């Protein structure tokens, strides 16, 4: 299986920076944080020294000293490996298990910046709140990791040609019907496997869903063990198992400036885990032509949402917004609103090939925006159009309609206007 994560390119550049900060990889359990570090080590030829504070909590005692050179000496004695700056990658896994190690990151940055240090943690917020201290501000960098994307899934299952085709697709190219249908069928497979690396690995190895399903059940059980059956939304969001998609008025950027904390909808971590929770399998999905058989396309909204959430640069905190208004006889709700630079883009998600676009039209008129995006199961298209609104007025805009499998190309295709 060809395991690739797009964050590797960012980390490869980080390796070359002279005075780099330690990076803390943030993400839910089992999204592939440790695997990402191992892939980086293999790809760039660094010697990897790995400490896991959950598996070996006694190693935390090495970090009671505030002298990074003494700490690395102790690690060398323990592991039997020489630590050479520029050649060694020190990986502190499950760092939430050692408050001392978190504090020590400051001293590594200030006194030993030439050593490459990567950390990973899945429950950091809980540790920090319990310990009563914060991360070393200005001395570390974050990298945010979510599930594998659809493009990464294509590479993992041996469909590199399709992944390359998507990456270089131009909006006015016609996609042959057999290629479009093949990609939509693979989207349905991704709906079931999801983006959790172990689930994808299981599917790629035996080309069935049996082992993949066991993997997802195990992941869900782990989450339940972590938080209990009735964990609050706040706890789940702290652990990055769920995300709040907040309401924004979307009058300008940044969208978060007009975020309303009282109104939000919840996005789960991964569509494959959602499918397993709902008891859906591949046969359910292949028996229908359109992906609109569950709660009016909530799975489709989950698919688009989890991709948009992690579409920013790896060091940016994931966030996502929606827009709604309540007016008598004129209520409206947009699935998502995103921004690229100064450009605010409203997004509608439709499970099938058709569907009402009233909310999109109202948003474009009210906010005086000129680009609207729809994701659905139809082939891609783009056109300049004028639409009449219920009040008799009209709105002129560019309408970009993309199939689900092009979600990872939205930034490129929407900015080439």
Q: What's 381-399 look like in SS3?
A: EEEEEEEECCCCCEEEEEE
* Residue 1 belongs to some domain of the structure: no
Whether residue 328 sits in one domain with residue 220: yes
Instruction: Mention every residue, 6+ apart, whose C-beta is less than 8 A from residue 219.
Output: 29, 30, 196, 198, 199, 273
170 in the same domain as 139: no
Q: What is the pLDDT of residues 210-252, one digit of tens each?
A: 999 999 999 999 998 887 755 688 888 988 999 999 999 999 9
Give the chain's end-to-end CA distance (angstroms, integer). Answer: 37
Task: Tell me the mean pLDDT per 10 residues along the chain, length 417.
Answer: 92 92 96 97 97 96 95 98 96 93 94 96 75 77 97 98 98 97 95 97 94 96 79 86 96 96 96 92 64 63 98 95 82 94 95 79 95 97 94 94 98 84
Longest dimension (CA), the chain: 78
139 and 162 co-located in one domain: no
Residues 167 and 127 in one domain: no
> What does residue 267 show for φ and ψ, rounded to 5 degrees?
-110, 130
* Residues 109, 165 share a domain: no
Q: What is the domain-level CATH number for residue 76?
A: 3.40.50.300
User: By residue range, what is the domain housing residue 278?
Assistant: 150-415
CA distance 190 to 2: 16
pTM of the model: 0.93
Mean pLDDT value across the chain = 92
pLDDT tens-place string over residues 76-110:
999 999 999 999 999 999 999 998 999 999 999 99
Q: Are residues 272 and 252 in the same domain?
A: yes
For the chain, what is the domain count?
2
């Amino acid at each position: 299986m060809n395991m690739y994560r797009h964050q590797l390119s960012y980390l490869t550049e980080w390796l070359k920076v002279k005075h780099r900060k330690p990076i803390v990889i943030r993400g839910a359990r089992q999204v592939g944080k440790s695997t990402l570090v191992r892939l980086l080590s293999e790809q760039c030829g660094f010697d990897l020294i790995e400490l896991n504070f959950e598996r070996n909590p006694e190693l935390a005692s090495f970090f009671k000293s505030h002298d990074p050179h003494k700490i690395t000496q102790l690690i060398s004695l323990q592991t039997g490996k020489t630590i050479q700056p520029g050649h060694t990658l020190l990986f502190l896994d499950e760092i939430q298990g050692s408050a001392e190690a978190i504090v020590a990151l400051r001293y590594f940055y200030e006194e030993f910046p030439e050593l490459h240090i990567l950390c990973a943690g899945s429950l950091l917020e809980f540790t920090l709140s319990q310990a009563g201290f914060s991360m070393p501000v200005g001395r570390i960098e974050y990298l945010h990791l979510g599930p594998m994307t659809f493009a990464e899934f294509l590479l993992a299952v041996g469909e590199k040609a399709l992944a390359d085709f998507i990456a270089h697709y131009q909006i006015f190219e016609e996609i042959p019907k057999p290629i479009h249908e093949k990609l939509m069928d693979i989207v349905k497979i991704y709906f079931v496997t999801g983006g959790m690396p172990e689930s994808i690995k299981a599917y790629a190895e035996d080309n069935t869903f049996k082992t993949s399903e066991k993997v997802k059940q195990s992941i869900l059980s782990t989450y339940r063990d972590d938080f209990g059956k009735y964990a609050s939304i706040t706890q789940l969001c702290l652990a990055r198992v769920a995300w709040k998609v907040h309401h924004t008025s979307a009058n300008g950027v940044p969208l978060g400036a007009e975020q309303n904390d009282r109104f939000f909808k919840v996005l789960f971590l991964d569509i494959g885990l959602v499918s397993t929770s709902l008891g859906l399998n591949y046969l359910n999905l292949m028996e229908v032509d359109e992906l609109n058989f569950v709660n009016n396309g909530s799975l489709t909204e989950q698919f688009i949402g989890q991709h948009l959430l992690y579409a920013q640069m790896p060091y940016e905190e994931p966030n996502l917004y929606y827009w709604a208004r309540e007016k008598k006889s004129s209520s409206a709700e947009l699935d998502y609103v995103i921004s690229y630079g100064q450009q605010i883009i409203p997004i509608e998600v439709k499970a099938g090939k058709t569907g009402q676009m009233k909310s999109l039209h109202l948003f474009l008129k009210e906010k005086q925006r000129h680009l609207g995006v729809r994701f659905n199961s139809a082939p891609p298209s783009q056109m300049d159009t004028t639409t009449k609104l219920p009040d008799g007025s009209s709105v002129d805009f560019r309408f970009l309609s993309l199939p689900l499998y092009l979600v990872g190309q939205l930034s490129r295709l929407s900015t080439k206007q």
